[in-house]
Structures are given as structure tokens and as C-alpha cells.
Structure 1
Amino acid sequence: MAVMRLLEVRGLRHQRLHCCDFSVDAGAVVVVTGPSGAGKTQLLRAIADLDPAAGEVFLDGAGRADIAAPLWRKQVAYVAATPAWWGASVRDHFEPDQFDDATRLLEDAGLEGNALGWPVDRLSTGETQRIGLIRALARSPRVLLLDEPTSGLDEDSRQRVERLFDRLLGDGGAIIVAAHHHGRLDERARTRLVVAPGGIVSRVEQ
């Protein structure tokens, strides 16, 4: 069976960041490593089209420049280490047609189904991380760009979140993750991107 190439990155440049060309197949994991401040977050944000960058990124063969930015960011979803909030409650960060899926995902992540009604200013670090992830998953992304996704989670919560990752990968999605501790994602990765202190990104096949 042929493996589908889901994401391709070519000549990506942003400020001091210079990334090698690489591709990500459906169901694959790419791990991003490097010292703090080297540019791991910058790389993820550039792929997500959150920061202006030269070069080309393709999803299913369609170029980033040919897809409206909101649609691109829905399909190639960046999840920050500390998600931002713009409303008073968790519910404010989901579309009405996402409420049912979000409730199920909240429960799968070990949160209460009524967490949609929680005020965001009462969230713990671990709750914030999980809800930020669920906000992205509720939009049915093809590619998840994860920045320290489980750093604030206890063991049970981390395992629950990893099962959500497994589900996305099993459905033909892909994950690019930058973290100091990658957990099971590290075991699944066949490609590693190494960001040097000067912002040069090289690819290592495992």
C-alpha cells in the first residue's frame, strides 16, 4: 500500500530560522529537538502560517499560499505550550457545532463534560494544556503542531492525551512535536528535526 505524503516543507525561512526540506506522511510523527531559544516554536508557528515566512508548505499537494489562512490554520493546527484565551469561559473558544465533539473530547482527556462552562481564569496548567489541545482537535485538523504538549500533565492525564494522539494518527493525520519529553510520540517518530542554536534546522532519519 502506498504511503500518502501529507505535508511538505520546502525552503522555509523566518528571521534567523533556516529549515531543511522535509515531508511528513499520513500517520507519521516528526520530533523537533534543540536547546531552548533555538527556534523550535518559531518553526512550528511558521508552518502553521502564524508568522510570516519565506518558502513553501504543502498540504495534500495544495500550497499554503493557495489556501485561506483561517482554513490552513484549522487543518494545520498549532497548539501552544500555554494556549491563549480571548473569552471568559471555555465554551467561548468553540463554535456551537463543536460543542458535542468538544464535550466527548474533554471526557476522553479526563476532564468533566461540563468543563465547557468553566471560567478560563480557574484553569490549572494541566487543564489549560488539555483544553488547548481539544480546541484544536474539535476542528478536525490534518496535522497537529505541538509545543510542549504534556509538560504540565500528570501520568494519567498524559496517557489520556497520548490516546488522543493515537486516534489522530490512526485516522491518517500527522504530528510534529517539539518537547523536552516526547513520551510515546518519540517511539513512533521516524524523522527528527534538530534545531541548532543559530536557527539552522537539519533532518535526521531514525
Structure 2
Amino acid sequence: MLHIHSLQHALIQARDLHLDAGQGIHLQGPSGAGKSLLLRCLADLLPWQGEMELHGRSVWAQTPVQWRRQVVYCSTENHWWLPRCADHFLHDPRTDMDSVGLDPALLERAPAQLSSGQRQRLALLRALDRQPTVLCADEPCANLDDHSRARVEARLEAFVQRGGMLILTHHQKPSLPLTPWRIENGRVHHA
């Protein structure tokens, strides 16, 4: 279980929120409310104060690298730094490519040769390749066509069904069964 005892950033506050294995959260709120900011704080990618635990172990009892291996942030604006797409994976992703509607041959290409939608789906697979406990997915279906969106949502649902924990922001209501959290006036609460 992920337990946010308190999380404070200059722009947002979250207190006493829980996420259990096999549960997904749909983070809601208007543009600029701090949804992406919260996800980056949860993944310990931005400075914040407070206390969080994952399976009863404090974030402060771990190195940032240990925490970030368990709580992975996946952004729509993903970055690629190696020559081939395949070079960004720890494990061979070929068998998982079809789950998001991608041809395994794309792995041999340079990231710049892919469309933004192809890179977006590949970034999701890259995040899942780390085998996270919690996936913080920021707009994972933005700019995808209906067919690709359905494939990505099915892949995220499979992650949750296998016991993963998912917190996602979305530009529209996802078809996944998710519990809503809402950010209003800088405060995160159950919707």
C-alpha cells in the first residue's frame, strides 16, 4: 500500500491518502491545479516535505533511487537519449509491443524517427519495463487515436489487475475502473 501521510509542496498539499495493490486512481482537477506536479512529487522528482510510505516503509528510509524504482513517473513529454529505442529498456520489450499496438521493428529505429504517439506508447512500455509498484502516468492517452487509446488503457488495466498501483491524469474520463481524487485550491482529496 502507498500511504501519503502528508505531502507539501509550495503549490499543493495532500494528507492521509491511501492506494492499495490492484487499485487505480484518476487524478482530477482543472488545468494548472497541480496534477502533474503531484505525480512528480510522489515519484520524488521534485522537492517536497512530509511523509509517505510504500508497504510500510518510509520514503526517508530509502535512497531516492530505491524509491524511484518502485514509484515510476511516466510523462507524455518523454525523453530519449540513446541511439535506438531498444537501448532504453532493461528487458527485451518485443513480446509486449503488441499490447499497445506497436510493431517490434520500431525498437531498431532512432526515437526521432517515431511519431509522437509511437514514442508515447513506447515510453509507457519503458516505464512498465522497470516493474514498478506504483505507476504515475501523466496523460498516458493524450494525442492518441481511439484505437491506440483503448490498447493503452487495456495495458494499464492489466498492470492494475496484476497488483500494480496506478495514479493517472487524463484529458478525458478513462474507461478503466478508477477511484477519483481531486485537486482543488491546492488540496488533494477523495472526490
TM-score normalised per structure 1: 0.87
Query: What is aligned with 2:136?
Result: 145
Q: Structure 2: how far apart are the matches of 1:32 and 1:88?
A: 34
Corresponding position of 1:70: 65
Q: What is the identity, as a one-letter code, of the residue corresponding to 1:14?
A: H
Q: Name the aligned partner's letter for residue 29 of structure 2.
A: G
Residue of 28, 31, 47 corresponding to 1:33: 28
Q: Does 2:121 match 1:130?
A: yes
- How many residue pairs match? The answer is 191
Give the drift of 1:20: 2.8
Identical pairs, percent: 36
Residue equivalent to 1:189: 178
Contact 2:9 2:47 in 1 (8 A): yes
Equivalences for residues 162-201 of structure 1 within 5 A = 162-185=153-176, 188-190=177-179, 192-196=180-184, 198-201=185-188
Residues 68-92 of structure 1: CA distance to partner in whole angstroms, max 9, x if unpaired?
2223212111111211122232122
SS at match of 1:106: helix
Cα pair 2:134 2:164 within 8 Å, conserved? yes
Change (3 A) 1:70 1:182: farther
Q: Secondary structure at the match of 2:77?
A: coil
User: Are 1:53 and 2:41 matched, yes or no?
Assistant: no
Q: Could you tell me whether the CA contact under 8 Å between 2:85 and 2:108 is conserved in 1?
A: yes
In the TM superposition, residue 150 of structure 1 has moved relative to its aligned partner by 0.4
1:109-138 CA distance string (max 9 Å, x none) = 111112221111112121111011000111
Partner AA of 1:201 in structure 2: V
Give 1:31 shift. Answer: 1.1
How far apart in 2 are the matches of 1:193 and 1:22? 9
List runs of 5+ in structure 1 lacking aligned partners: 1-5
How many Å apart are 1:13 and its aligned residue?
0.6
Structure 1 residue 47, shift from structure 2 partner: 0.4
Residue 94 (str. 1) matches residue 89 (str. 2): yes
Give the 3-state SS of the residue equivalent to 2:22 in structure 1.
coil
Report what 2:74 is aligned to.
79
Q: Please report the RMSD computed on the Cα atoms of aligned residues, expressed in angstroms.
A: 1.4
Tell me by how many angstroms 1:42 deviates: 0.5
In 1, Cα distance between the equivalents of 2:95 and 2:60?
Answer: 34
State the distance in 1 between where 2:116 and 2:52 align. 32
User: Which residue identity does 2:154 align to in structure 1?
Assistant: R
Mapped contact 2:39–2:136 kept (Cα < 8 A)? yes
Contact (CA 8 Å) 2:17, 2:189: kept in 1 or not? no
State the alpha-carbon separation in 1 of the partners of residues 56 and 133 from structure 2. Answer: 13
